Amino acid sequence: MALLERVSTLVRANLNDLIDKAEEPEKMIKQVILDMNNQLLQVKTQVAIAIADQHLLEKKKLENDDKIVEWMRKAELAVDKKQDDLARAALLRVESYRDLSANFAQQLEDQKAQVENLKSALRNLDQKLAEANAKADLLIAQHRRARAANKATDAQSGMDANGKSATFDRMKRKVAREEALGEAKSQILADDVENRLAALEKEDRIEQLLTELKTKRGA
C-alpha cells in the first residue's frame, strides 16, 4: 500500500544525506520530522483499523463455524427422522458454510500479516523519529557552524577576488600623492616669500650703498 511505501522511504532515508542535498538544511530537518510525525499518526490509525478488521473477521469466522455445527446438527436430525431430502439440503448448507469458513480463514491470515507489517512499520518509524529528534538540534548547530565558517572564508576570498587589497593600496598611494603635492605647494609658497623678502633686502642694501657713495662723493 502507498502508506507503507512512504513510511519505508522515510525509514530508509539518511538524515545526513538529506541535509547535504538540501538548499536550506534547517528547513529540511524540520520538514522531515514533521513528515515523520504525520506518517506516524497515519500508521497508528491504520494499525488500529487493521486490528479492528482482524477482530471483525475472527468474529465472522466464529459465527460461520457455528453455522456449520448448527446445520450439521440439522442434517443429523433429518437423517434420524428418515428425511433424506431435508438431510441433503442441510448438508448443502454445511458445505456452503465450510467454503465460507475457508475463505474467512484465508482473509484472516492475510489480515494478520497486514497487521504485523503495519506494526513493524510503526515501530521502525517511531524509532527513526526518535533518532531524528535526537539528532535535529545537533545537526542544526553543526550546519550553523559550517555556514558561519563558509561565510568567513567567502568574505576573505571575496576581498582577494574583488581586489579590495589593491584598492586600499591605490588609496594609500593617492593619499601619499596628495600629501606630497601639498608639501610641494607649501614649499613653493615658502620659496616665493623668501625670494620676495630677499629682493626687498637687496633693494634696501642698494639704497644704503647709494647713500654711502653719495656721502663719500660729497654729492
Q: What is the mean pLDDT of the chain?
A: 77
pLDDT of residue 100: 94
| DSSP 8-class letter at 64 | H
Segment 168-197 shows an average pLDDT of 68
Using alpha carbons, select from 97, 100, 75 the residue that is nearest to residue 88: 75
Three cell numbers at 7? 513510511
pLDDT band of 106, cuts 50, 70, 90: very high
2-162, CATH topology level: Helix Hairpins (1.10.287)
How many Å separate Cα 75 from the centre of its chain? 70
**Where exactly are the structural domains of the chain?**
2-162, 169-219
87 versus 208: the higher-pLDDT residue is 87
167 versus 211: the higher-pLDDT residue is 211
What's the pTM value of the predicted model, to 2 decimals?
0.53
Query: How far is the C-alpha of 176 from the C-alpha of 152, rounded, in Å?
Result: 32
Burial of 93 (0-12, 13-18, 19+ CB in 10 A): middle
